[in-house]
């Protein structure tokens, strides 16, 4: 059997007690360096290990209540009334009430009646009662003894008296644990000088060489310890890293963008008409700020104005009057395709393979599959070999690397791609759209100077996380409940 350092200390303390103090209340055990709690826990363990006997003893302690404290301060009501009576010879009940207050007068009258002074015709007459002053002083002394916590058995009679008077006595029940070392314990303490062994190796013990002459305490490898959970990544961060790794391994470069964009880049450069519903206030967060930010590549406004109004060779455009001030509106980007289009404008030499995993904002009501802030896995390939077939292949390969072989690709529509294609997956029997993709229209690529086809995609990260982690509600991903997060054992 092994004892902990604290258990050994308590046991040797108990074993060294003189004969007449063999049985000791737990609260009186004093071991240097141990607090009440440590002692108490060591006692419990020593009992479990059968080295000590613990007897429980119930006891009651008496203290002084509020009313009792008042009596001590201002005098017992009965004594006060009696002295008033001694002074004036007689006193009416209303007078007594006026002097002592309703409650105390009532108490004083009752107590005096018990001592032999009863009111007749609504008043009290003075009477000399033998021993009454001794009674009062015994009562007072009793109350002050209680206040000091000095109650003894000899005061029992007074205790009984005051017990019947409300608010004077407080009873506290206490459970005392009385400890005795048994034979086992005594034997153990005599043979194992645990407290003399080295429990913790310190630099002093090494430097002084003390370790050479002393025994070491055994280290109990089977002792119970609270399991610790180390740090781990948030499930979404883990997934972001995984997605990034997939694209990086395929030779893509990562691009970075910013939350605030001009409509010119977020919408116009992508050939989204100025009256498109997606531009409405109910879909997009616009910035109120009158302070305009300088636009990156401001010449873009003139370029897209021409395309929107007149089109390009072979294409008519939207044939409306383009409003340049709308192009300068600032907004929280609604998609990361804005990253792609600006990146391509800045990198016009094919081939280009680029991606980003970044946050976008939509004025959307939040429900089980919608968030107002979400991440998009964006990407594009700009190359003479880029086509709808390469796009389909890429989408399937990407999802397959994440473990999803069962995705559906269906025709769709975006103002900036033709053809367009959506990625669909089934969650709990319901079909959920994971994102959009397509081949950029010539109205998007040509005016920016791009000579080869561009395939592009924008996929929801949180919806992907939903199926990846088997969630039924997208909002669970942003649940900050640490216990929920701990259930995901994701590698760092
Ligand atoms: N930008 C689209 C969206 O936010 C997705 C998309 C990206 C579609 C690229 C086509 C091409 O849903």
Per-residue pLDDT tens over the stretch 360-393:
999 989 998 899 999 999 999 999 999 999 999 9
Segment 160-203, tens digit of pLDDT: 999 898 889 998 898 889 999 999 999 998 888 766 788 888 99
Confidence of residue 153 (pLDDT cuts 50, 70, 90): confident
Distance between CA atoms of 429 and 467, rounded to whole angstroms? 12
Q: Please indicate whether residue 456, judged by its CB atom, sits closer than 6 Å to ligand 1.
A: yes
Q: Please indicate whether residue 438, judged by its CB atom, sits closer than 6 Å to ligand 1.
A: yes
Q: Please indicate whether residue 336, judged by its CB atom, sits closer than 6 Å to ligand 1.
A: no
Using alpha carbons only, what angle is made at residue 184 by residues 181 and 186, rounded to the nearest 5 degrees? 55
Q: Please indicate whether residue 356, judged by its CB atom, sits closer than 6 Å to ligand 1.
A: no
With H, G, I as helix, E, B as strand and everything else as coil, classify residue 68.
helix
Give me the pLDDT at residue 226, please: 80
Average the pLDDT over 104-120 and give the result. 92
Mutate-to-test residue for ligand 1 from 342, 457, 459, 461, highest number of ligand atoms within 8 A of CB: 457
Per-residue CA distances from 369 to 189, 390, 430, 432 (Å): 67, 29, 11, 8
Give me the pLDDT at residue 174, please: 86
Average the pLDDT over 333-359 and give the result. 98
Mutate-to-test residue for ligand 1 from 371, 436, 444, 457, highest number of ligand atoms within 8 A of CB: 436
Confidence of residue 290 (pLDDT cuts 50, 70, 90): low
Segment 385-431, tens digit of pLDDT: 999 999 999 999 999 999 888 899 999 999 999 999 999 987 777 78
Report the mean per-residue pLDDT for the chain.
91
Give me the pLDDT at residue 244, please: 98
Ligand 1 centroid – CA 411 distance (Å): 13
> Mean pLDDT: which of 231-235, 245-249, 275-279, 402-406 is highest?
245-249
Q: Please indicate whether residue 460, judged by its CB atom, sits closer than 6 Å to ligand 1.
A: no
Kindly report the protein residue whose alpha carbon is nearest to atom 4 of ligand 1.
Answer: 335
Distance between CA atoms of 396 and 392, rounded to whole angstroms? 6
Confidence of residue 492 (pLDDT cuts 50, 70, 90): low
Average the pLDDT over 101-127 and give the result. 91
* Angle at which helices 77-88 and 102-115 cross, to 10°: 80
Distance between CA atoms of 2 and 49, rounded to whole angstroms? 9
Average the pLDDT over 339-356 and give the result. 98
Confidence of residue 349 (pLDDT cuts 50, 70, 90): very high
Note the pTM of the prediction, 2 decimals. Answer: 0.59
Kindly report the protein residue whose alpha carbon is nearest to atom 12 of ligand 1.
Answer: 436
Report DSSP letters for 193-244, one per residue. -GGGSB-S--HHHHHHTHHHHSPBPPP-TTS--PPP------HHHHHHHHHH
Mutate-to-test residue for ligand 1 from 266, 277, 458, highest number of ligand atoms within 8 A of CB: 458
Kindly report the protein residue whose alpha carbon is nearest to atom 9 of ligand 1.
Answer: 457
Give me the pLDDT at residue 207, please: 95
Segment 192-233, tens digit of pLDDT: 876 678 888 899 999 999 899 888 887 778 877 887 777 788
Distance between CA atoms of 100 and 93, rounded to whole angstroms? 10
Q: Which strand (E) or helix (H) includes residue 409?
A: strand 408-414
């Amino acid at each position: 059997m092994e004892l902990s350092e604290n258990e050994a200390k308590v046991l040797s303390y108990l074993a060294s007690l003189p004969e007449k103090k063999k049985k000791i209340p737990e609260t009186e055990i004093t071991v240097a360096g141990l607090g009440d709690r440590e002692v108490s826990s060591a006692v419990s363990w020593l009992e479990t290990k059968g080295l000590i006997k613990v007897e429980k003893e119930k006891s009651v302690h008496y203290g002084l209540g509020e009313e009792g404290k008042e009596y001590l301060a201002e005098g017992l009501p009965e004594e006060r009334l009696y002295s008033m009576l001694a002074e004036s010879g007689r006193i009416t009940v209303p007078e007594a009430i006026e002097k002592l207050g309703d409650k105390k007068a009532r108490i004083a009258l009752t107590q005096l009646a018990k001592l032999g002074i009863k009111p007749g015709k609504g008043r009290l007459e003075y009477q000399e009662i033998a021993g009454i002053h001794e009674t009062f002083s015994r009562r007072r002394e009793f109350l002050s003894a209680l206040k000091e916590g000095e109650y003894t058995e000899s005061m029992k009679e007074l205790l009984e008296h005051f017990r019947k008077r409300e608010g004077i006595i407080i009873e506290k029940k206490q459970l005392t644990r009385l400890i005795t070392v048994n034979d086992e314990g005594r034997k153990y303490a005599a043979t194992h000088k645990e407290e003399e062994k080295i429990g913790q190796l310190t630099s002093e013990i090494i430097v002084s060489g003390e370790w050479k002459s002393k025994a070491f305490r055994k280290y109990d490898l089977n002792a119970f310890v609270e399991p610790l959970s180390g740090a781990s990544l948030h499930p979404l961060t883990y997934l972001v890293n995984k997605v990034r790794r997939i694209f990086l391994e395929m030779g893509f470069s990562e691009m970075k963008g910013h939350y605030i964009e001009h409509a010119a880049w977020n919408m116009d450069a992508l050939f989204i008409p100025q009256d498109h519903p997606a531009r409405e206030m109910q879909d997009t967060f616009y910035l109120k700020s009158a302070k305009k930010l300088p636009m990156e590549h401001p010449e873009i406004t003139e370029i897209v104005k021409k395309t929107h109004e007149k089109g390009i060779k072979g294409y008519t455009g939207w044939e409306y009057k383009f409003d340049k001030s709308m192009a300068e509106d600032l907004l929280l980007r609604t998609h990361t395709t804005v990253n792609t289009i600006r990146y391509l404008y800045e990198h016009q030499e094919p081939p280009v393979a680029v991606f980003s995993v970044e946050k976008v904002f939509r004025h959307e009501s939040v429900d089980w599959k919608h968030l107002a802030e979400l991440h998009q896995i964006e990407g594009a390939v700009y190359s003479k070999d880029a086509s709808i077939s390469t796009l389909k292949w890429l989408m399937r390969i990407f999802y397959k690397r994440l473990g999803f072989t069962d995705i559906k690709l269906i025709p769709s529509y975006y103002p900036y791609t033709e053809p367009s294609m959506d990625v669909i997956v089934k969650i709990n029997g319901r079909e959920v759209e994971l994102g959009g993709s397509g081949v950029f229209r010539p109205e998007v690529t040509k005016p920016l100077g791009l000579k080869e086809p561009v395939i592009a995609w924008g996929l929801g990260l949180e919806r992907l996380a939903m199926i990846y982690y088997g969630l039924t509600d997208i909002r669970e991903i942003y649940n900050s409940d640490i216990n929920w997060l701990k259930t995901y054992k994701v590698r760092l």
